[in-house]
Amino acid sequence: MEQQADAAGFAMWLFLLTEVMFFGGLFTAYLIYRNWYYPAFVAGSHQLDVRWGTLNTLVLIISSFTMAMGVWCAETRRRSGLVLCLILTFILGLGFLGIKTVEYSEKIEKHHVPGLHYSLQSFTHPETDAAAVKAGDKPLPPDMARHTEIYFSLYFAMTGMHALHMIIGIGILGFMIFRARAGAYTTGHVTFVENFGLYWHFVDIIWIYLFALLYLISRHA
Amino acid sequence: MSATIVSLPDQSTARIPKVNFLTKENGLLSWLLTGDHKRIAILYLISITFFFFIGGALAGLIRLELLAPQSDLMATDTYNKVFTMHGVVMIFLFLVPSVPATLGNFLIPLMLGAKDLALPKVNLLSWYLYVVGGILVLVTMITGGVDTGWTFTTPLSTHYVNTNVLTTGLAVFVAGFSSIFTGLNFIVTIHKMRCPGMTWFRMPLFVWAHYAASILMVLGTPVLAIAIVLVALERTIGIGVFDPAKGGDPLLFQHLFWFYSHPAVYIMILPGMGVISEVISTFSRKRVFGYTAVAFSSVAIAVFGFFVWAHHMFIMGVSNYAVLVFSLLTMLVAVPSAIKIFNWTFTLYKGSITFETPMLYAFGFMGLFTIGGLTGVFLGTSGTDIHLTETYFIVAHFHFVMVGGMLMAFLSGIHFWWPKITGRMYPEKISQLAAVVTFIGFNFTFFPQFILGTLGMPRRYAAYPPEFQILNVFSTAGATILGVGYLLPVLYLTWSLRYGEIAGNNPWQATGLEWQIQSPPLTENFTEIPIMDHEAYDYEWLENQNLARQKAKEVASVG
């Protein structure tokens, strides 16, 4: 039994390693294009609302805390505590996705979704765009402005993949809440909760990198 | 040639053990829901054989088309689809899972003295993912195929073709996760499930090779997955990461793709090398020469294998300095590969060699893999690569490694462990014949392609200048012989399931833990947890075991 839990934990770490490689491909693409098209990336990032991003970072960090508490509750066999923690994590996860939806719909309205109808208006004529005015953007030459589409391609690919992981996580959380109420994890079989905790923290950490890389590009001393 | 090490029990009294993993439970569901690594191995064996023959039929079509210089059997775009599907099926549905998912699945727990893999359910899940991937490939084929080549090169795959890139991409994505789960399971099992006394340097080299291949599966495959996701996003909604019109770089796709797909060739070949180590040792009755060097050379291939990917892109506009570095690193991979070949050769030196079928295939492997590997050095040299790349020289090179190497190793392993898996021997004479036919057919098929490549015949075209015809006819004729060589084992191995001689526990007198138990094994593998008290390939230990058993029998009969 102990050997099995041990093996499952090790397997989970290996799985997270494959996840690191999975996101690694995206981070590599980001690194290259940010070096090539730095001004476009700065202008693109000014179109994101740092307040939403910060709020979402907080939401996820708190959800990681509630998840960690959940693992502790499972280990110390507190059933109602575990259920409460899982439900809180579940709600916070949904909250994150809700905020993300608000952000995405802003992008759709401003035609900042790469592909069809992508608009360069905010970058070639920043005076017409509130967010760009606020950041004090200068007009980008058309050639560089075009590359903001790469920035938004990466923005959607990276946050999209992250959101997909969140959705999968929330699905599993729902299943776990159901099982935890029946007392499945508070009789000593905590492996599943522990491994899910690892997954949840991993998704959280990915977000923290995404937040810094996508929202805070030009915000340094 | 009359010398043999085969020692079978007296056929008039021998019986297949009544209780074994095959007979434990009956009914289709007991197979489809099984957690037993041995049954999953058999599920995999059946499914990969199915896809091997689909891929083989496609190869047959390619060779038929190339019999004459004009594109007369099929239209050129159909030809593109046929060679693409051949590549996709053979690589993702046959070569990658071939040895690990069948023999590896069956043998790793047995060799380590464990009851099962560490995560039996994940193992079953990996088979289902494989099946889903396989079905998606079949759907692609039925609904019109895909013609990007198995490499999905952008911007061809994202902008210019109107075929089923998405279903194929999804198939590869899903099959990729099947392979990740297999690799992950092996790594965890090898770390956590070794029996008492089974130290890292007492493990059979088969296990070491799988360990190295698993590292590649776990670290490489996800990068392929994300590359395919980006291609799919570009095709569907039009994000621009690989689109030059938007400032993206198609070369980035190739970097991501080959970051997996170069290590993938080591995923394919390393488990085969593991098989060869076992077979060479058993049929020369000697411990593998330089055990530690062979073990570490597997890991070295895995590590170096991650740093050579750009040699697929020498003519695609990577910088000269990158070419220089990647060329040098590529040649470094030749070192651990050569260590293996030399050590196997030294194992043969002064050994008591016998020529049973697995050994014949292993000899085939050593010769053909050496040619395949050395021509890889030609291709790793940027000067010669610029002349030879995109010609039939490349085709011949990787078929020497993959078909001449890996497929020979797979067949060697299947014959070697057939008695353990089924409890019955395959018929020796006809299978020796099949091994020889395969070897001859193989050389007839692919050796002319080296010449065609140096003469400049490009790959991926349905038509070619008439002066190349004679060599192409040779190649197609060889492919026919090769086809016979592959059909024979299917026939006689099926025959042997019922009529083969009863093998007993250890027909080869081999030393691995898997040979010390009944054939076919029990579902739980070992009646009591074994204790490993000797090194791998210790033939003296085996002899002492046999003597002790004989003595015990004599005492019993006297008593």
For B424, list phi and psi in degrees, rounded to 5.
-125, 150
Given a contact cutoff of 8 angstroms between Cβ atoms, the answer to whether A51 and A131 are in contact is: no
Non-local (6+) Cβ contacts of B42 within 8 A are B102, B106, B421
What whole-number distance in Å separates Cα of residue B231 and Cα of residue B154? 8
Q: Any idea which residue has 């006809």 for tokens?
A: B430
Given a contact cutoff of 8 angstroms between Cβ atoms, the answer to whether B106 and B417 are in contact is: yes
Question: Which residue among B220, B233, B247 places its CB closest to the CB of A147?
Answer: B247
User: What residue numbers bound the domain in which A183 lies?
Assistant: 2-215
Q: How far is B313 from chain A (nearest CA, A)?
A: 18
Given a contact cutoff of 8 angstroms between Cβ atoms, the answer to whether B86 and B479 are in contact is: no
- Written as six digits, the tokens of B241 are 């990461």
Hey, are the CB atoms on A149 and B184 less than 8 Å from each other?
Answer: no
pLDDT band at residue A188 using 50, 70 and 90 as cut-offs: confident
pLDDT confidence of residue A117: 84
Hey, are the CB atoms on B237 and A146 less than 8 Å from each other?
Answer: no
**C-alpha closest to that of B141 among B186, B89, B195, B90:** B89
In a domain, A11, yes or no: yes
Q: How far is B63 from chain A (nearest CA, A)?
A: 37
- Written as six digits, the tokens of B528 are 């009591």
In total, how many domains does chain A have? 1
Whether pLDDT at A218 is above 90? no
Whether pLDDT at A51 is above 90? yes
Contacts 24+ apart (CB under 8 A), A188-194: A188/A77, A190/A71, A190/A74, A190/A75, A191/A4, A191/A5, A191/A8, A191/A9, A193/A70, A193/A71, A193/A74, A193/A82, A194/A9, A194/A71, A194/A74
What whole-number distance in Å separates Cα of residue B504 and Cα of residue B518? 7
Amino acid at B414: I
In a domain, A220, yes or no: no
H or E stretch covering B143: none
The ipTM, to two decimals, is 0.94
Hey, are the CB atoms on A21 and B222 less than 8 Å from each other?
Answer: yes
Burial category of B131 from C-beta neighbours within 10 Å (exposed 0-12, middle 13-18, buried 19 and up): middle
pLDDT tens-digit series, residues A112-123: 998 878 898 899
Cβ burial B171-182 (10 Å sphere, 16+ → b, else e): bbbbbbbbbbbb
Q: Which stretches within B66-164 are classed as H helix?
A: 76-88, 98-99, 105-112, 120-142
* B218 contact residues in A (CB cutoff 8 A): 14, 17-18
**C-alpha closest to that of B163 among B82, B244, B224, B94:** B82
* B189 contact residues in A (CB cutoff 8 A): 7
Whether pLDDT at A97 is above 80? yes
CATH classification at residue A131: 1.20.120.80
Hey, are the CB atoms on B192 and A21 less than 8 Å from each other?
Answer: no
Those residues of chain A whose CB sits closer than 8 Å to some CB in chain B are: 3-4, 6-8, 10-11, 14-15, 17-19, 21-26, 28-29, 32-33, 36-37, 40, 113-116, 146-147, 149-150, 152-154, 156-157, 161
pLDDT tens-digit series, residues A32-43: 999 999 999 999
In chain B, the residue whose alpha carbon lies closest to the alpha carbon of A112 is B239
Non-local (6+) Cβ contacts of B427 within 8 A are B492, B495, B496, B500
- Alpha carbon of B227 to those of A25, B152, B326, B432, B515: distances in Å? 7, 10, 21, 44, 43
Hey, are the CB atoms on B119 and A7 less than 8 Å from each other?
Answer: yes
User: Rounded to an integer, what is the distance from CA B200 to the centroid of its chain?
Assistant: 24
B218 touches chain A (CB under 8 A): yes
A&B contacts, CB < 8 Å = 110
B122 touches chain A (CB under 8 A): yes
Per-residue pLDDT of chain B (559 residues; tens, 9 = 90+): 457 888 899 888 889 999 999 998 889 999 999 999 999 999 999 999 999 999 999 999 999 999 999 999 999 999 999 999 999 999 999 999 999 999 999 999 999 999 999 999 999 999 999 999 999 999 999 999 999 999 999 899 998 888 899 999 999 999 999 999 999 999 999 999 999 999 999 999 999 999 999 999 999 999 999 999 999 999 998 888 999 888 899 999 999 999 999 999 999 999 999 999 999 999 999 999 999 999 999 999 999 999 999 999 999 889 999 999 999 999 999 999 999 999 999 999 999 999 999 999 999 999 999 999 999 999 999 889 999 999 999 999 999 999 999 999 999 999 999 999 999 999 999 999 999 999 999 999 999 999 999 999 999 999 999 999 999 999 999 999 999 999 999 999 999 999 999 999 999 999 999 999 999 999 999 999 999 999 999 999 999 998 998 898 888 887 6
What whole-number distance in Å separates Cα of residue B510 and Cα of residue B5? 10
Hey, are the CB atoms on B247 and A26 less than 8 Å from each other?
Answer: no
In a domain, A18, yes or no: yes
Hey, are the CB atoms on A10 and B229 less than 8 Å from each other?
Answer: no
Given a contact cutoff of 8 angstroms between Cβ atoms, the answer to whether B216 and B183 are in contact is: yes
Amino acid at B260: Y
- Alpha carbon of B139 to those of A28, B80, B176: distances in Å? 33, 17, 18
Hey, are the CB atoms on B118 and A147 less than 8 Å from each other?
Answer: no
Q: Which stretches within B2-36 are classed as H helix?
A: 28-32
- Written as six digits, the tokens of B335 are 């070192």
In a domain, A118, yes or no: yes
**C-alpha closest to that of B279 among B535, B512, B9, B546:** B512
Candidates 3.90.45.10, 3.40.50.300, 1.20.210.10, 1.10.540.10; correct CATH number of B28-558? 1.20.210.10
Question: Which residue among B218, B239, B249 places its CB closest to the CB of A156?
Answer: B239
Q: Where are the domains of chain B?
A: 28-558
Cα-based torsion angle of the residue sequence B298, B389, B152, B396 in order, rounded to the nearest 10 degrees: -60
Secondary structure of B153-189 as H, E, C letters:
CCCHHHHHCCCCHHHHHHHHHHHHHHHHHHHHHHHHH
Given a contact cutoff of 8 angstroms between Cβ atoms, the answer to whether B30 and B380 are in contact is: no
Residue of A21, A111, A148, A150 to mutate, testing the B interface (most B Cβ within 10 Å of its Cβ): A21
What whole-number distance in Å separates Cα of residue A175 and Cα of residue A165? 16
pLDDT confidence of residue A159: 97
Q: What is the DSSP letter of B515?
A: G
Question: Which residue among B122, B220, B241 places its CB closest to the CB of A154?
Answer: B241
pLDDT confidence of residue B337: 95
In a domain, A221, yes or no: no
B303 touches chain A (CB under 8 A): no
Q: Any idea which residue has 């204790």 for tokens?
A: B531
Distance spanning both ends of chain B, measured CA to CA? 41
* B241 contact residues in A (CB cutoff 8 A): 29, 33, 150, 153-154, 157
Hey, are the CB atoms on B187 and A115 less than 8 Å from each other?
Answer: no
